[in-house]
Structure formats: C-alpha cells, structure tokens
Amino acid sequence: MARELLKGNVAMAEAAIRAGVEAYFGYPITPQTELLEWMSLRMPELGRAFLQAESEVAAVNMVYGAACTGKRVMTSSSSPGVSLMMEGLSYIAGTELPAVLIDVMRGGPGLGNIAPSQADYNQMVHGGGHGDYYSIVLAPASVQEAIDLTVLSFDLAEKYRSLAVVLADGNIGQMMEPAELPPMQPLKQSIPEWAVQGAENRDSRFLSSIYINPEEEEVVNIRLVERWNEIKANEVRYKEYYLEDAEIIVIGYGTAGRVAFSAVRAAREEGIPVGLLRPVSLSPYPYEQITQLVPQARALLVVEMSAGQMLDDVNLAVNGQVPVEFYARLGGIVPFPDEILAEIRRVAHEPLTPGADPREGWLQRLKTVVNA
Amino acid sequence: MAMTAAPQLVYDRPESLAENPTHYCPGCTHGIAHRLIAEIIDEMGIRGSTIGVAPVGCSVFAYNYFDFDFVEAAHGRAPAMATGVKRVLPDRFVFTYQGDGDLASIGMGEIMHACGRGENITVIFINNAIYGMTGGQMAPTTLPGQKTTSSPTGRDVEQMGFPIKMAEVLATMDGAGYVVRRSLHDPKNIRKAKKAIRMAFEVQKRGLGFSMVELLSTCPTNWGISPSESLKWVEEHMIPVYPLGDYKVTSALEGVKV
C-alpha cells in the first residue's frame, strides 16, 4: 500500500473497515463527523451495517446489541457525545463484550467548543460509566498511528472481551498527513462461543450485565479485575525519544506529546539533556516505565491539554522522588513547541521547588501567556 | 359397554418456554404474554432464529423464562439494542419485550426512532399503568386520578400530565407496519392478543417494517386489588382510556390470515 494524504477521521474510519468492522452506529458531532460520513458511504457499498442513530445513547446501545452477535462493531463520537455513551459502555463492560469506540476529544466541559483537547482523559482512563470496569485506551499522535491503533483496538477488544477506545484529539481527527492504510482484511468467519445469534441446534443462551445475587456479581467483578491484570501485564505501549542520557524527562501523549517532541529536539540542539516518553496506551498506563526513569532524572515535565488529569498518574509513578513539573493549555488550545521549549529551559536552568503542587506555578506562568 | 376415548393432549408447555418458575406475582398477566409469544414462536418454527431483547422492569428476567436466545438491554434502550442485533443479523426474528416505564418514559426516544425508521423488529409492549419492579410508582400510562406511590393523592393531570397513548402515537409514523392494542383481561381478548402477536411476527417475516402489540395488563400487587378485581379494572378503567383496536395495519398485510 502506498502512502497517501489522509484526514485523521477518514483514516480511522477506513482503517476500521479494513480491520473488518461489520457494523457502525454513530451520531454526528464535530470534530469527528467525517468518520461517520465516511462510514455512511463505505459500509453500505461493502454490504455492511451503517446507521446514523437518533442520539449517542441509541448509537452505543445499537453497538451493544450488535456486539452481542460476536461481530466486529464500533462507534465514534466526541467528548459531549461520549458522555452520553457512558451508560452503554458500562453495560458493554458488564456483559464482557468486545467493542471499539473512537473518541475525538474537544474542548469542554459542557458544550465547550470544537477545538482539540485531552480533557476526556479521566473519563476514559479512570472510568466514566458506573461500576468496576476498565477499558483499554490507546492514544495516537499522528494519522499513521491513528490507523494502526484503530486496527489494534479491534484485536485487543476481541482478545480480552473488552472495550477498546482510541482516544484521539480534534487535531488528530482533523489533520491531514501522509499515511499508509493496511490491506483489506477478510471478515471474521468464526462465531465466538458466547455470541447470541439464535439457538439453532444448540441450547439457548443469553447475554446480560445483571447479576442480581451480589455473590455472582462479585465473581464477575473479580474476573474483570483478573482480566485487567492480564491486560496490564501484556498491553502497555509507549514511545521513547532521547531517553538514554536524559536528565529531564518530558511526558506527553497524543498531540501534546507530538508537540513536546518538537520542543525536545530543539532543546537537545541547545545541549539540554532532555528526552520524551510518550504513552501510547493510556490504559494500561506505563507506570513502571516512568518509575524506571526516575533514578536518572533531575525532574519530569508533564505536558498535556487538560488541567493535570494525566499529571496525577505520573505522580503515582514518580512517588515524590524527584520534582514533577507541569505545563498545559486548556479549553481547546494546543500548546506551541516554543511554549514547551521555554518550560524545558526553565526546568533545566531554574531552581525547582520540591513538593509543591506544580499546577500552582503553572497557573501563574500560564496567566502571563493568556492574559487571563 | 362405554367407549374409551383415546387420551388427547390439550395443554402443554411450549418448547420455547423454559421450565423455570417465574418470579411474577399471582394474578400478573406477564405469564400469559410470555406463553402467547412462546406458542407463536413454536407455531412459526422460528425458535432457532429468534433473539429476544429483555427490558428493565418486572420482566428484566424474561430471558430466564423463554428457551431461545436473549439479550438484556439497558432501561428503555431495547429498541436500539434490537436494532443493533437486527442490522447485523437481518434474517433473524428480533423482538423486544418492554413495560410502560421502559418504553414510554425513559425509552421514548428509542421507540419513536425505531418506529420512524421502520426498523423490522417486533415490540411487545406491556401496559399496566404503573411501575411494577420499583414498587408501584406513576408511569407515563398511569390513568388520571390513579393513586400510585409517587402520585399518592392520584395522578393530577394539571401537575403530572396525561397518559401517553403509545399505539396511537406510533401509528402516525410511516415506518409503522402494524401497531395494535389488545388486552389480556379475559380468554376472548387473550385469543385476540395471540393473533395480533402472530401478525406482528408475520410483519417482521415479510419485512414490512416496525410492528408493535400493546397489551393491557394487570398489576394486582401495586394496584392493591385482587387478581380478579384487576381483570375487571382493566376492562372498566383502562380500556376506556386505551381503546382496543388496530391503529396501523399496512395494506401489504391484505389477505394474510393467522
């Protein structure tokens, strides 16, 4: 396959098609709508199911139903729409079904705006829906990675009977860049042993998330935790840049991680020993990999497009052993490389206050940038 | 010498009905509705190709009482879940079984749009004018003046609005192939209800769009009256508000006899 100029949303949609998605249910919302539009064209011409639902609530429950049949199935949305989907996501998790969600995050809270954001981190990584469950969450930093992670999300969802989320931001969804699509996979022919397709020549079965006896529900909850432990052991993904001799470790994912990479390269040219760890799987999170970097680090710098939602996870990994500094833009603003470069210089050259909440200093510095 | 007639089987458990005893209260008509559905699925020979979608409410465990494949929806979302199943398995029979709170309150959006799309599914709608599972609260179908645990002095339509007549509402939509209301309060009406459910599945078999049978049903426990009084209550109080009849029958059904 040749590289072609692709828009992120379209690339993720076509990647899902080539990964063999058999049904798509969604609802228009900026900045992910091109994904739905591409599906509306391509799925019917391939004889697969496409439906524009009446709401995100309905869309995710259509996904729930279709997932019960064991077919590859997905939806996509953006932050406010994903909030509406939380009910269905919890039911899908409680029924232990594979399903894929692409969330192209936008500024919030509330209606917010349609610009890129990473403020759904907690909603996707640390829950969202009710009950004890965990989702696999993968965060692309380029159109190519969005394609690759979309394909991977179907495999992981099926392997673990789990929700798999591609957590992109509006930048990834809207950006065009050269990327290579995978070849078209044949549709999955096997029917999982749990799938509901009609009790022809077998005993009847049902799929449900209700376990009215707490003793039974606890067993299911334990199974979900054990499955999650397996996922944690096998599916942590991250990218490392210039880390070998780095004394300042930048942590950022998605678009923020990509912008941070530009800043890290510029800082390297100035002789600052800085490197970048970019988490690709946000859930499971690369805690151990970050912990292992602590002995070589003078300080860490967390960069994100939310108010320290991922910072909390980095702090868990660092456990107060070295200063963790913080920089973020909020509400749909993407930081420029120069802003992050200035932060790297500050961390490299200025005294840091160990133990202080890095958000406090960051807010002061940010106010000089935004004139708030 | 008297002739001995050969024994004749007149009543048996349908193959599509599981042997589990139900948790339904004495005098509740859910059991009748379940049996009618099971008989029809047996008669049509579609047990192996039918997928039921259970609701949230008293019939949340419906899948324990039928012996074919089932899935369990979130509250009100059964039509959306059924849509998901039907769209990937269009040759299967897919039906939802929903109460009045599930279908006409929290699930109003999903039922309206499933009907509007002409989704080729069948809906069995149990209307007993009250929330059963949560203990007798007001439903969208609660009658004016009817006392419930959340309308303790009776449903005041000035404050709490009017009963919603789902068969009438859905029948206005072009996607509706077959929308009727029947009652389960006596044998004659039960026979009519069975024919209607059969017709609804025939609509689905022929791909004629959305089909719904609304069944007026009893809830002696939460109405606070005896099972036999409940049957009378349906006849005397519910039917005047919810007239029985055919609200939408697609012309494509002309000549189809069940």
AA letter at B229:
E
B177-217: pLDDT as tens digits = 999 999 999 999 999 999 999 999 999 999 999 999 999 99
Which structural domain, as residue segments, surrounds residue B154? 30-250
Domains and CATH numbers, chain A: 3-234 (3.40.50.970), 238-370 (3.40.50.920)
Burial class (CB in 10 A: 0-12, 13-18, 19+), A149: buried
The candidate with the shortest Cα–Cα distance to A258, out of A237, A271, A241, A273, is A241
Residue B229's CATH number: 3.40.50.970
Interface check for B74 against chain A (CB to CB < 8 A): the answer is yes
Q: What is the pLDDT of residue A190?
A: 95
B27-67: pLDDT as tens digits = 999 999 999 999 999 999 999 999 999 999 999 999 999 99
Interface check for B71 against chain A (CB to CB < 8 A): the answer is yes
Interface check for B42 against chain A (CB to CB < 8 A): the answer is no
pLDDT tens digits for chain A (372 residues)? 699 999 999 999 999 999 999 999 999 999 999 999 999 999 999 999 999 999 999 999 999 999 999 999 999 999 999 999 999 999 999 999 999 999 999 999 999 999 999 999 999 999 889 999 999 999 999 999 999 999 999 999 999 999 999 999 999 999 999 999 999 999 999 999 999 999 999 999 999 999 999 999 999 999 999 999 999 999 999 999 999 999 999 999 999 999 999 999 999 999 999 999 999 999 999 999 999 999 999 999 999 999 999 999 999 999 999 999 999 999 999 999 999 999 999 999 999 977 789 999 999 999 988 865
β A274-279/A176-180 pair status: unpaired
The secondary structure of residue B45, as a DSSP letter, is T
The candidate with the shortest Cα–Cα distance to B200, out of B183, B180, B174, B215, is B180
Report if residue B12 sits inside a domain: no
Report if residue B256 sits inside a domain: no
Distance from CA of A62 to the nearest CA of B (A): 4
Interface check for B175 against chain A (CB to CB < 8 A): the answer is no
Report if residue B113 sits inside a domain: yes
Chain A residue with the nearest C-alpha to that of B56: A210
Q: DSSP for B172-230?
A: TSTTEEEEEEEE-SSHHHHHHHHHHHHHHHHHHHTT--EEEEEEE---HHHHTS-HHHH
Complex ipTM over 0.85: yes
Cβ neighbours of residue B152 under 8 Å, at least 6 residues apart?
A: none
Look up residue A172 and give its two tokens: 């990834």
| Count of domains observed in chain B | 1
Would you say how long chain A is, in residues? 372
- Contacts with B63 from chain A: Cβ below 8 Å: 206, 208
- pLDDT at residue B14 tops 90: yes
Q: Measured between alpha carbons, how far is B7 from A142 in angstroms, rounded to an integer?
A: 76
Within A120-177, where are the H helices? Answer: 121-125, 143-160, 170-174
Q: What is the 3-state secondary structure (H, E, C) of A170-203?
A: HHHHHCEEEEECCCCCCCCCCCCCCCCCCCCCCC
Q: Measured between alpha carbons, how far is A154 from B47 in angstroms, rounded to an integer?
A: 31
In Å, what is the CA distance from A157 to each residue of A154, B5, B15? 5, 62, 36
- Contacts with A206 from chain B: Cβ below 8 Å: 54, 63, 69-72
Distance from CA of A39 to the nearest CA of B (A): 15
Q: What is the pLDDT of residue B166?
A: 98
Q: Measured between alpha carbons, how far is A160 from A208 in angstroms, rounded to an integer?
A: 17
Report if residue B21 sits inside a domain: no
Sheet holding A299-304, edge to edge: A238-241, A274-279, A248-251, A299-304, A324-328
Q: Across the interface, which of B60, B88, B112 has its CB nearest the CB of A66?
A: B88
pTM of the shown model: 0.97
Report if residue B242 sits inside a domain: yes
Report if residue B83 sits inside a domain: yes
The candidate with the shortest Cα–Cα distance to A345, out of A272, A278, A296, A242, is A272
| Record: contact B84-A25, CB cut-off 8 A | yes
Report if residue B63 sits inside a domain: yes
Chain A residue with the nearest C-alpha to that of B64: A206
Report if residue B20 sits inside a domain: no
Sheet holding A49-52, edge to edge: A49-52, A23-26, A73-77, A99-105, A163-169, A136-138, A281-283
